[in-house]
Structure 1
Amino acid sequence: MSEPKTPTPAGDTYKGWVFKWTNYIKGYQRRWFVLSNGLLSYYRTQAEMGHTCRGTINLATATITVDDACNFVISNGGAQTYHLKASCEVERQRWITALELAKAKAACMQAESDDSGDDFSTSSPPVAPGQGGGSQNSEVQSALRTLGSKVEDLSTCNDLISKHGSALQRSLSELDSLRLTGEAGDKVRQVTERATLFRITSNAMINACRDFLALAQAHSKRWQKALQAERDQRVRLEETLEQLAKQHNNLERAFRGAAQANATEDNKSSAGPGKGEASDEDDDNEFFDAVEEAPEFITVPADPHFHKRSSSNISGFNSEMCPDDQSLNEEPLVMNQESLSQDLIPLKKRRTRIPDKPNYSLNLWSIMKNCIGKELSKIPMPVNFNEPISMLQRLSEDLEYHELLDKASKCQSSLEQMCYVAAFSVSSYSTTVYRTGKPFNPLLGETYELDRRRESGYRSLCEQVSHHPPAAAHHAISDRGWTLRQEITVASKFRGKYLSIMPLGTIHAIFEKGNNHYTWKKVTTTVHNIIVGKLWIDQSGEIDVVNHTTGDRCHLKFAPYSYFSRDVARKVTGVVMDKDGKAHYVLSGTWDEKMEFSRVMQSSRGGENGTEGKQKTVYQTLKAREVWRRNPLPEGAETMYYFTALALTLNELEEGVAPTDSRRRPDQRLMEDGRWEEANSEKQRLEEKQRSVRREREREAASQRTSSQSEEGAPHDSYQALWFERCEDRITGEQIHIYKGGYWEAKDRGSWEGCPDIF
């Protein structure tokens, strides 16, 4: 929300963008609000101010309530209610202050204008001074005066109708007594009949008015009692709110006083010759985590004297790590970029655009209504739901921030290295924040290579090694001293309103220096608003990054999005601990933007007198430093599936790749070119070809089995991957596929005889 204008004393005007609740489909929508002369009006845009107002509330008779840190509600007796949401707590408080001032002024002005001509003020129920009941009292008295005037008019009309009706009846009787004949007699009879009908109608109207007057008089006392009860309740609520505000202010003053007293004592205890200058920097070192919803830990600024101690005496690092630790206190965890990028020569100029996404309409519900509860991999999905890259290419996108691993390989301390590896595990999700399209399911035997050895020092190979369940193996090796490998099996469930994607499998990062071997798993990805509304993606769950060589561990928590949470969206927090459980670094940030780390100087357990489940660890930390930040999207990314700069190059045609490479997949290429109808037909052809090859493979496996073996069950798929071999992981004990070599040598020779024909 843009910064609204500061209220001016002359015009009492306040303007700015606020999010207004519209309905359950669209949710909160951004609207331009204008507060002027006691009236709060809103428009869809600033340009509408001159011609179209979408709604207005008179603050003189409105109530203002606060829901939470950013939300507030303005209501006008039920006829109009605005549920509003500011961009932050500070912005919300500015609006509340401006609204309360405008409301007070409007109520005073209305009370003065009504009291100046009020002849019936003594008949109103008394209201305590300062309780804000003057405006309501004046409004009620004005309505009573109006009703009284109307009743007097009705009474006067009643008298006139009775008087003139009787006179008319006498005149008609006199005419009738003349016994006129002919045409005159007929006219007199017609007038007499019409007068009689008019008299009957008038009497009916008079009776109805009497009934209405009696009913109004009977209920007036009841209305006055109800009004007084509502006024009393409002007074009680205002008194309660005032007490809460006073308590809140007292708590804030007590907290500030305690914090200042602690800071003074710490400065006195650590002050010495030439050491008093560091005390003014405490505010810059502040690092707070949310204390709602039972956080696992709390971080507070470290005492100033910790900044002056030797880091080796505090964290327990050995002496050869001190130079790196000292650098952590002063500078971010970064290496010399020139040293990382030297001798890297770009292989060729990569493309920066792909064809824009066509605007195809699709009836989503007609496809999804029969798919609830099924495996996503078994549903024939049109390419309208896809993006023009395969799952193998999405796995290769994990290397977008490979420089984090490059920097990690240079670290002297395994705990420093853990910070980089943890940041790398978070960085892979940054590409998904706007990517609601589904990647193509790879065909069995499909491969994808990403050769960036000359540009970035690494090259990567993915292969689809299983179809049911779908599994892809990935192996990347860098000249900078690290290896990354993973085998990911995706379990997907469509639940009607959202789609859950649970990656199964372990990711391994191995560094030559120190022989450190790290493992972790991916968190759950959820795609919301599948049926109605705008699609959006959330990541939730926990990751444990473990160094199996040293026993170091980093526990990361991805907080799921909650409408009621005051925390920043997409938040990630974590703690880096050694094998003894001692914390050395605290990580914090968001998976879509950046990650920061803070050096832990001291830790303690909080809530020792409480229950064990409510105890929290309090970490005293140094100033937070940035370790990773998301790269900006290319210009025009919204029309190119929100691809990153790396993703735009993944499907670029290259010479010398294997015939099974995803770049050669025809349906994917047709979709990228915008020919979606042809892509759908080609996709069905490839899937049917894959099923036929599998049935043939099962028949061959069945014919080779002995009769005793055949009785054990149905024929099994005997497929074996080409570049990866199945074995047991010595670290996790899982059955995985590990790269067995040969691919890059085959590429150098240009020999692809063993590759299957899958396209």
Structure 2
Amino acid sequence: MGHTCRGTINLATANIAVEDSCNFVISNGGAQIYHLKASSEVERQRWITALELAKANAANMQDESGERDRKELQSTLRTLNSKVEDLSTCNDLIVKHGSALQRSLSELEGLRAGADMGEKIRQVTERATLFRITSNAMINACRDFLSLAQSHSKRWQKSLQSERDQRIRLEETLEQLAKQHNHLERAFRGATVLPSSFSNPSLDGPSGKGDASDEDDDNEFFDAMEDPAGFITYDDVSLASNAESPQPPELEPVRQRRTRIPDKPNYYLNLWSIMKNCIGKELSKIPMPVNFNEPLSMLQRLSEDLEYYELLDKAAKCHSSLEQMCYVAAFTVSSYSTTVHRTGKPFNPLLGETFELDRLRECGYRSLCEQVSHHPPAAAHHAFSEKGWTLRQEITLASKFRGKYLSIMPLGSIQCLFDKSNNHYSWKKVTTTVHNIIVGKLWIDQSGEIDVINHKTGDRCHLKFAPYSYFSRDVPRKVTGVVTDKEGKAHYVLSGTWDEKMEFSRIMQSSKGENGTEGKQRTVYQTLKAKEIWKKNPLPEGAENMYYFSSLALTLNEPEEGVAPTDSRRRPDQRLMEEGQWDEANAEKQRLEEKQRFARREREREAVKAVSLDEEGTHQDNYQPLWFKNTEDAVSGETLHVYKGGYWEAKEQGLWDMCPEIF
């Protein structure tokens, strides 16, 4: 350009995306983004067509090298993808305008000749014109797509044939080289017989080193082929017996996890005899037999939040923070899917109890939980993934028994951090309610609201978990959400249920609708077609006899070598319960709880007498967690226990001397 400008985007590699009927966006995948608005849908389509043609021409002007071919392929794929998006947008618009036209025609048929006839005919004419314009745009887009696909198809076929021919020539050359190498070795062995202990003294001197360097200078090195199947293995006996071929180290096979646990025994216990004196009390302070438990600890239940870790893997790849927010929000909803049939209470972890979930090889992440406080019970959780995200949370459970139902209120914060974008998200959990505690079949509901906040960009997703109502016409367990930017503009809507699946849709237009409940004005969003973002995994066969555990939950308490002595897998009462020995499990549970109370009294005796008394008139517990430290997060401003490191290093070395004896 012969004049200055604010910025440029290389059109050959530019991304062209449609926002709504008149707006579109051009970006380079980085900071340069142009938001453009046309006067109409047809004008917008003309601009996009012209830009795509210019983009194709720009790609054709690249160097005629392998690098150019790769860029041209990528550009063409992006162009085709953009065309598909245009076709999808046109399809949505045709459906919308067609429906409007159909309504107008129906209304016209029902009208008598009169004053309203002229107005209705005008509406039909306008909508028919919009439908015709959109249909023409659809036809033109289809023609462009077909032409582009046909022209590049011939070029790709020619390029593929050239690659095949080159590969055949390379294979023939390799075969000739192998034969020549074999022939030279046989000739050398025939001319000279060397003892096995022979060493050439000339090779130890400078001349030997120099010869080797000269020989290296004459060699030509090639990059390894990307497809290992492209290499040819020769079974020449003399070549194999004389030429050493380094063997790759054997990879340890991925561990096969268990798919079953012993079926739940059918033990009867009078619930009312235990619960009648507990109404209004804190659940964690009520001594409960294992009959109401499931054979997992709260630390293991917390680790189950990672069942749908793939959502965070996909979020880490997103270029748009608003789209990333959709995946993070779906991840927050997915953590409740395991609770729909899980009416058993998890074991309260002992103070200092830990649980590791090492899925680095299978899934790319590692997770560690530790019980950092006993009263109130609090667990800290830290997980990191090779895919570029870190999840950390501290959960304190507050629970009250209300007679007919039990309310569980998780307190504390959950945070997710992404390495590439430095986006920092935080949110809190909703209330869980267990119904029909005394009479009837137990069932679980989730209700409340969640605000997922991106502290870096100001983006926000407001999720609503609708409480179950017998009189509501909505689907049970319904969840809805809206993703907004820092200015409050809505970009995506999410909808679905917390026990089945979630979908998300891009918002094209919003408007104020009729007043809803409590006099609040509703907002109506016009969106593109919804896409599924998350779906619950099916339960394993026979899950109803195994506490309704998911496939992941079945593996959590599986014995594993090398874990810390404080790991939940080593907890004896939980292990006995899983094996069906509930009487023994109850006796062991009482022993462990008394041991924990004794350890607390010992810590209080060791505390300095100058320590102030807390509200209950007892000395404050001076317990310090082993793997986490209490700190204030500078970004969110919240105080929580954060992993301080050292656990996985201790596991590699097998050094657990620092661990307390809690079992």
Question: d(CA) in 2 for partners of 1:728 and 1:256?
Answer: 69
Q: 1:680 to 1:603 in 2, by over 3 A?
A: same
State the partner residue of 2:632: 728
For residues 492 and 360 of structure 1, the distance between their equivalents in structure 2, rounded to whole angstroms, comes to 25
Residue 731 of structure 1, CA deviation: 3.0
- In structure 1, the partner of 2:482 is 575
Tell me the equivalent position of 1:397. Answer: 304
- Tell me if structure 2 keeps the 8 A contact 1:346–1:455: no
Amino acid at match of 1:268: T
Within-5 A mapping of 1:133-148 = none
Question: In structure 1, how many angstroms separate the alpha carbons of the residues matched to 2:565 and 2:392?
Answer: 23
Kindly provide the amino acid, as one letter, of the partner of residue 383 in structure 1.
V
- Give the SS at the match of 2:551: coil
Matched, 1:513 2:420: yes
Q: Is the 8 A contact 2:294 2:345 kept in 1?
A: yes
Match of residue 464 from structure 2: 557
Distance 1:709 1:682, change over 3 A: closer
- Equivalent residues of 2:405, 2:436 under 8 A apart: yes
CA shift for structure 1 position 606:
2.2
TM-score of the pair, normalised by structure 2: 0.63
1:425 and 2:286 are equivalent in the alignment: no
For each residue in 1:515-541, what CA deviation from the matched residue of structure 2 results, as whole angstroms up to 9, or x when unmatched? 000001000000000000000000000
Q: In structure 2, how many angstroms separate the alpha carbons of the residues matched to 1:273 and 1:599? A: 20
CA distance in 2, matches of 1:270, 1:372: 65
What is the alpha-carbon distance in structure 2 between the residues aligned to residue 362 and residue 447 of structure 1? 30
- Could you tell me how far apart the structure 1 residues matched to 2:517 and 2:499 are? 36
Corresponding letter in the other structure for 1:681: A
Change (3 A) 1:364 1:414: same
Which residue is 2:226 aligned to? none
Whether the 8 Å CA contact 2:613–2:620 is kept in 1: the answer is: no
Contact 2:397 2:410 in 1 (8 A): yes
Query: CA-to-partner distance for each residue in 1:581-623, whole Å, 9 max, x for gaps?
Result: 1111110000000000111001112249x99943111100111
Structure 1 residue ranges, 4+ long, deviating more than 2 angstroms after superposition: 253-278, 344-347, 610-614, 708-714, 731-735
The one of 675, 680, 705 aligned to 2:581: 675
CA distance, structure 1, for counterparts of residue 299 and residue 452 of structure 2: 23
Structure 2 residues not aligned, in runs of 5+: 1-105, 112-119, 140-250
Asked whether the equivalents of residues 345 and 454 of structure 1 are also in contact (C-alpha less than 8 Å), the reply is no
Q: Could you say which structure has the larger radius of gyration?
A: 1
Contact map agreement 1:476 1:484 (CA 8 A) in 2 = yes
Identity across the alignment (%): 77
2:450 to 540, 543, 547: 543
Matched residue, 2:526 = 620
Contact 2:381 2:392 (8 Å CA) reproduced: yes
SS of the residue corresponding to residue 406 of structure 2 reads: strand
In the alignment, structure 1 segments of 5+ residues that lack a partner are 1-252, 279-343
Amino acid at match of 1:735: T
State yes or no: 1:745 paired with 2:643. Answer: no
| 2:547 paired residue number | 641
- Distance in 1 between residues matched to 2:581 and 2:430, nearest whole Å: 34
TM-score (normalizing by structure 1): 0.56
Question: CA distance change for structure 1 residues 682 and 577 in 2, over 3 Å: closer, same or farther?
Answer: same
Counterparts of residues 116-155 of structure 1 (less than 5 Å)? none
Contact 2:390/2:417 (CA < 8 Å) preserved in 1? yes
Q: Residue 498 of structure 2 aligns with which residue? A: 591
Q: 1:433-460, CA deviations, whole angstroms, 9 ceiling, x for partnerless residues? A: 0000000000000000000000000000
Paired residue type of 2:272: W
1:638-682 CA-to-partner distances (Å, cap 9, x unmatched) read 000000000000000000000000000000000000000000000
Write out per-residue CA displacement over residues 413-438 of structure 1, whole angstroms, 9 at most, x where no aligned residue.
00110010000000000000000000
> Mapping of 1:161-172 within 5 angstroms?
none
Cα 1:257–1:590 change in 2 (3 A) is farther
CA distance in 2: counterparts of 1:698 and 1:254, whole angstroms: 82
2:555 is aligned with 1:694:
no
Q: Deviations over 1:673-722 (max 9, x none)?
A: 00000000000000000000001111111xx233x857996311000000
Q: Where does residue 145 of structure 2 map in the other structure? A: none
Residue 408 of structure 2 aligns to which amino acid in structure 1? I
Q: Is the 8 A contact 1:599 1:622 kept in 2?
A: yes
350, 353, 356: which one aligns with 1:443: 350
Of 496, 503, 509, which aligns to 2:410?
A: 503
Relative distance call for 1:645 and 1:266 in structure 2 (3 A) is: farther
Offset of 1:494 from its aligned partner?
Answer: 0.4
CA distance in 2, matches of 1:374, 1:398: 28
The one of 470, 473, 477 aligned to 2:377:
470
Partners of 1:255 and 1:374 in 2: how far apart?
Answer: 67
Q: List aligned pairs for 1:152-231, cutoff 5 A.
A: none
1:268 corresponding residue in structure 2 = 129
- 8 Å contact kept, 2:315–2:328: yes
Q: Could you say if the C-alpha distance between residues 705 and 636 of structure 1 is closer, same or farther in structure 2, counting changes exceeding 3 Å? A: same
The CA deviation string for residues 28-79 of structure 1, in whole angstroms up to 9 with x for no partner, is: xxxxxxxxxxxxxxxxxxxxxxxxxxxxxxxxxxxxxxxxxxxxxxxxxxxx
Residue type matched to 2:398 in 1?
A
Cα offset, 1:735, TM superposition: 2.5
Q: Secondary structure at the match of 1:695?
A: helix
The whole-number CA distance in structure 2 between the counterparts of 1:629 and 1:256 is 45
Root mean square deviation, CA, Å: 2.8
Cα distance change, pair 386–605 in 1 and its aligned pair in 2 (3 A): same
Q: Distance in 2 between matches of 1:378 and 1:257?
A: 71
State the aligned residue count. Answer: 441
Match of 1:754 in 2: 658
Distance 2:313 2:387 in 1: 6
* Equivalent position SS for 1:463: strand
Tell me how far apart the structure 2 counterparts of residues 607 and 392 of structure 1 sit (CA, whole Å): 46
CA contact (8 A) 2:446 2:467 kept: yes
Cα 1:257–1:435 change in 2 (3 A) is farther
Q: In 2 relative to 1, CA 564–655 (structure 1 residues): closer, same or farther, beyond 3 Å?
A: same
Q: Is contact 1:442-1:464 (8 Å) kept?
A: yes
CA distance in 2, matches of 1:273, 1:757: 73
**Structure 2 match to 1:705:** 609
Distance of aligned partners of 1:711 and 1:370 in 2 relative to their CA distance in 1, 3 Å threshold: closer
